[in-house]
Structure 1
């Protein structure tokens, strides 16, 4: 097993390297910081062990930048409940507090590998969880995808428009993966999910001491996405007073952390998305017109699922396969009446609603056949 240790403390880094080096099953490589590791990690690595408190990019940001490509164990000498919860949200295998015995770390490593093998066994051959894969196809989808892939060949800013749940992040990932930046990070930020008072620090980062709770420096999303793609979801929800700063960063390609007088040059691709009527927001002075033209060089309207009827059953069947594999539910399939119900429903929540309906039906249904009653669509709006 090839393990990467990312730790800025040289004593801790060397201690872990020597201790794990005593185990013949482990091949250990060490890195001084997250940015160095991101440049050198490749497919040969099985596991990453990372400290949380590191200069430039902390362990949580580093784990997020890895995008699930490796099993991750977080170690820290300053554990907080918030950090533990954030680590769990990002899917880390374990969270260890310093000091710990080497045997404890070895047990955590072996647990992570057992879990990885178990997941592989539970999934059917060829079944993937790649979020950039479109489960179904239709003429309307192919036309929109063709436009997205053409846009991907340039570095022009793309604005994805469409109802909630139509798959805007999938399109953003498709643009990233078909671009010259595919080897760089893909960083997604949902403006609507971040409290207004935290958006500026999340996007641009901050220096230690910039404000009362800034006990250590933090890399912003712009720096984290350097060399790759930054996906700004729900861009129309960004507070008006921060839009001018975003516009300046996009124009100058330099980001200033809060509390810093020095700027950091950035080289990235911007893909933004919204389900709002952004032109109405401009008319109401809720969204800057100059920012709109900066992010909407290529606007792409993603049609709702009701206009992509050919995709409904393939998406439902693929989702069912995923759910059955994830929860080891045993063989299940849709009855003919369930398939007809799925195909005829109007899906106001689009693909997100379809996935939720299938997951619930798979978990709650008895036997191998999922009936139309198991879908509970008659009770939906």
Structure 2
């Protein structure tokens, strides 16, 4: 029997599980790798071609809620987007595995597994990995993210385009959900480092006790569980970009250690004495006011200036309302493809609610709402009920609102006349999308009187 050309990685701290699964899979696949310690996942993925990861969901004794598996799944999908992940879980923990599917896992297998089922799932995952790699290779860059037409977001991306050509450190500011991660990826992909590692570190989720070992790595024997030399996130990003998200959450006593690495462009693993030189682009992000933190002496001023060679601020959706409908259409297309519902559309009421909703959670909230709606909608039409935008209330229209509507109607009429009813020019001058302007023309019956 000819083996399938693919790299399979099995990660489980139970040696019996690792041995048994390897014995089954190596009969069918060319390369089968194993790990007992999940801390070494990214190191192995950076050095070894892996198509599919079989990932156990629990590693600490006494903790069986699958949180570790979900966290590691997100880490893998961020570091190696084309790698397909299959979750392994014990019978009775299916709910957590299903949550993993929502987070990007391909499938799950229950332990103890049926060998034929295991082989079948892994083969399907290999096919999925090949499709994913082909899709990533063929997809034009413009289809991978949404910019928009508001002046604030266009200025932010124009600035990003300039700084991407350099190796300057970049600080990205903005509320939660405004797209700081996407901006960091865009800068990396537009730089000379594209194709090299892009390593994302959520500093807000990083426990103080493992801060140094995770970021800087450690030598064998450096502490009780240090059973092998392990590279930290900075080394994994060598020749590429490291994105330090939520940098405002780093405790003051650890900021000096981070500053030393940035200043010296080198990292010293825990338990070692020699520094290792780094060639890494540093992008940071935060939703906090770092200037205020500096003034309060809870964020180091010297670190602030080190990370802030160039500052890019991303606007909230409340500041770019002309982009709401185009962004919703972009996200709908993305989710429709994900769930195989390419013909799904918004109805008129849903579009109206998207325009007036506050979107305090920004792009992340919109994406979540639309994904949910794509799953729930019937007849391929998303209604206002499917979106479930709960902060919209039906308020009786009072005299002031009628006056405001009349003012808006007259303003639109004035601009349309000025531009000889050229919709594109009028929409741009009013700060609206073409679709939004058409809806207002219909709403106010402009041109029908």
Tell me whether the two structures share a fold, i.e. TM-score over 0.5.
yes
Q: Structure 1's 148 and 103: CA in aligned 2 closer, same or farther, altered over 3 A?
A: same
Q: Using the alignment, how far apart are the partners of 1:64 and 1:338 within structure 2?
A: 32
Aligned-residue offset at 1:231: 0.4
Q: Secondary structure of the equivalent of 1:260?
A: coil
Q: 2:278 is matched with which residue: 266, 269, 275?
A: 266
Deviation string 1:106-138 (CA, Å, 9 cap, x unpaired) is 545413135558999xx9xx9899995126443
Q: CA deviation at 1:4?
A: 4.0
Alignment of 1:1-381 (within 5 A): 2-4=5-7, 28=30, 38=46, 47=51, 63=76, 66-71=79-84, 91=105, 107-113=120-126, 115=128, 132-134=144-146, 136-328=148-340, 331-379=343-391
Alignment deviations for residues 168-193 of structure 1 (CA, whole Å, 9 cap, x no partner) = 11110111011111121001111111
CA positional deviation for 1:328: 3.9
| Separation (CA, whole Å) in 1 of partners of 2:114 and 2:346 | 50
The alpha carbon displacement at 1:380 in A equals 6.1
* Distance (Å, rounded) in 1 between the aligned partners of 2:244 and 2:168: 15
Taking only aligned residues, the RMSD between alpha carbons, in angstroms, comes to 4.4
- Which has the higher mean CA deviation after the structures are superposed, 136-145 or 260-269? 136-145
CA distance in 2, matches of 1:241, 1:332: 51
Retained in 1: the 8 A contact 2:6–2:126? no
**Structure of larger gyration radius:** 2
Return closer, same or farther for 1:30/1:355 CA change in 2, 3 Å cut-off. closer
Shift of 1:273: 0.6
Change (3 A) 1:241 1:175: same
Could you say what secondary structure the match of 1:377 adopts? coil
Does the 8 Å CA contact 2:170/2:311 hold for their aligned counterparts? yes
Q: Does the 8 A contact of 1:68 with 1:91 survive in 2? A: no
1:95 to 1:282, Cα distance in 2 relative to 1, 3 A: farther
Q: Is the 8 A contact 1:63 1:90 kept in 2?
A: no
Cα deviation, residue 222, structure 1: 0.5
* Structure 2: runs of 5+ lacking an equivalent: 11-17, 35-39, 57-71, 394-449
Distance 2:212 2:104 in 1: 22
TM superposition score normalised by structure 2: 0.64
Aligned length: 350
Q: Secondary structure at the match of 1:215?
A: coil
The answer (yes or no) to whether the contact 1:132–1:173 under 8 Å persists in 2 is no
Residues in 1 aligned to 2:143 and 2:206: alpha-carbon distance in whole angstroms: 22
Do the aligned residues in 2 keep the contact of 1:3 with 1:49 (CA within 8 Å)? Answer: no
Tell me, yes or no, if the aligned pair for 1:229 and 1:270 is still in contact at 8 Å.
yes
Alpha-carbon distance in structure 2 between the residues aligned to 1:213 and 1:265: 26
In structure 2, what is the Cα distance between the partners aligned to 1:372 and 1:109? 39
Gapped regions of structure 1 (runs ≥ 5): 53-59, 76-80
**Preserved CA contact (<8 Å) 1:236 1:274:** yes
- Asked if the contact 1:31/1:37 (under 8 Å) is kept, the reply is no
SS in 1 for 2:158: helix
Paired residue secondary structure (2:255): helix
User: d(CA) in 1 for partners of 2:229 and 2:261?
Assistant: 20
Distance change >3 Å, CA 203–CA 339, structure 1 → 2: same
Q: Does the Cα contact within 8 Å between 2:353 and 2:392 map onto a contact in 1?
A: no
Match of 2:60 in 1: none
1:91 Cα deviation from its structure 2 partner: 4.1
Q: CA deviation at 1:358?
A: 1.6
